[in-house]
Amino acid sequence: MTKHQQLQRRLGVADATAIGLGSMLGAGVFVVFAPAARLAGNLLLVAIALAGAVAYCNAVASAQLAAKYPQSGGTYVYGRKQLGEWPGFLAGWGFVTGKSASCAAMAFTFGQYVAPGFATPVAIAAVAALTGVNLLGITRTAFLTRILLAVVLATLAFVATASILGPHVSGGAVSEQPDSAWGILPAAGLVFFAFAGYARIATLGEEVRDPARVIPRAILGALAGALVIYLLLGALLLAHLPVDVLASSAAPLLDAVQQSRLSAGAPVVQAGAAAASLGALLALITGVGRTAMAMARERDLPGPLARVGGRHTVPVTAELSVAAVVVLMLVTTDVLTVVGFSSFGVLLYYAVTNAAAFTLQDRPRHAPKWLNAAGLAGCLVLAFTLPPASALGMAAVMAAGLLGRAVVLRVRKLRKRVRR
């Protein structure tokens, strides 16, 4: 068996938490409220809470598994170890394909905020620059993520202040948005997409110091912080903007400031959105590259992607390959339409996470088996109540990956027979 060079353990609790929180407060926080409100109406906070509950189940399962298997690759590794090769591949393929689409979306969002008329070239430049940062080593990635996270938190505090100052929606306002369980479930699926950033912590398991202690704390800490922020922002937006206006907004946080007494501060929100996009993109490229590396180590992706090199011991080939795929999507695809596909892939990824955690025998008291079962059920319900186009599109991508792996395995088996 080929022995691969290992990554170095350099991240502590603060850095790992910042990477996870930076991912969850990425560009999604600036856009997710509108489509969720369109589906859930005044029950937006219920959808956020439901997404947070499912995310908590997944976070506990991720923390259990990451502490036991402190390797890069996240649920791809956990699925293989606990369930077998095929479930592991399903998780890894869903993560790599779904999050590659997310990378393109984050890059394009950055381009739109910075230079709307030149969004694609600016997006490509951002991908190139942040890939360069990643190639300088994981400590540089964590440092830049913390800076961007500070900018985003300051921006969100400004939006919250503007919303509190008003004006506020009158008590007699009537919404035409649906307030039903059928709207809450797909809305929760979209919001869950924004919560899924803690996966980045697990995918960095090989670069975290004392993983049995650091990873669980970082995952749960990042999720708790993100849930509080999303609930507070959702409540303030509903109080400040009529739900119909919120649902139809292309940039709800920007609209909230523009329709407040602090409207002159709108450029602050634009700058914050740009920083959020960069933070999310930086963390996404890092996580996808590590997962691709882990899959290549097991020969589920081309072998060269497993190479770790350079002075800073990073997966150079995987990082560059991810960047190339993202750039290709930017120049050939309407990337904003593929974000929904990613939600389906991410939910399948966490379904495998919960199934793998369910099989663990040694477990802490805060992680009973019923919590893993609830997380598995929640992921599947949210995945299959997403808009049909999103579910069917990613299902086709997943099927293509599974079929491709089956063909490759068949070819390998035939070659072995011929050699004999």
SS3 of 6, please? Answer: coil
What's the rounded Cα separation, in Å, for the pair 241 and 305? 48
- CATH number for the domain that contains residue 148: 1.20.1740.10
Q: Torsion angle of alpha carbons 307, 106, 19, 268, nearest 10°?
A: 150
Range of the domain at 140: 13-391
Give a yes or no: residue 210 inside a domain.
yes
Q: How many domains does the chain have?
A: 1
Give a yes or no: residue 306 inside a domain.
yes
Give a yes or no: residue 396 inside a domain.
no
Give a yes or no: residue 404 inside a domain.
no
pTM of the predicted structure, to 2 decimals: 0.80
Main-chain dihedrals φ then ψ at residue 204, nearest 5 degrees:
-95, 20
Give a yes or no: residue 291 inside a domain.
yes
Give a yes or no: residue 27 inside a domain.
yes
**What beta strand segments (E) does 57-169 contain?**
none
Give a yes or no: residue 406 inside a domain.
no
Residue by residue, pLDDT tens for the chain (420 residues) are 445 455 556 667 777 777 777 777 776 788 788 888 888 888 999 999 999 999 989 988 987 887 788 776 678 888 999 999 999 999 989 888 888 888 888 888 788 777 878 888 999 999 999 888 777 765 555 677 778 788 888 999 999 999 998 787 755 444 555 555 678 998 898 888 778 766 666 656 566 676 667 777 787 888 888 899 999 999 999 988 888 888 888 778 888 898 888 888 889 888 888 888 887 787 778 778 877 887 888 888 888 888 776 565 677 888 888 899 889 988 887 665 676 777 888 899 999 999 999 999 888 787 899 999 999 999 999 988 887 877 888 889 899 999 999 999 999 888 888 876
Give a yes or no: residue 65 inside a domain.
yes
Q: Where are the alpha helices (DSSP H) in 166-210?
A: 181-195, 199-203
Q: Where are the alpha helices (DSSP H) in 241-265?
A: 243-248, 252-258
b/e for 114-153, b at 16 or more Cβ within 10 A? beeeebbebbbbbbeebbebbbebbebbbebbbebbebbb
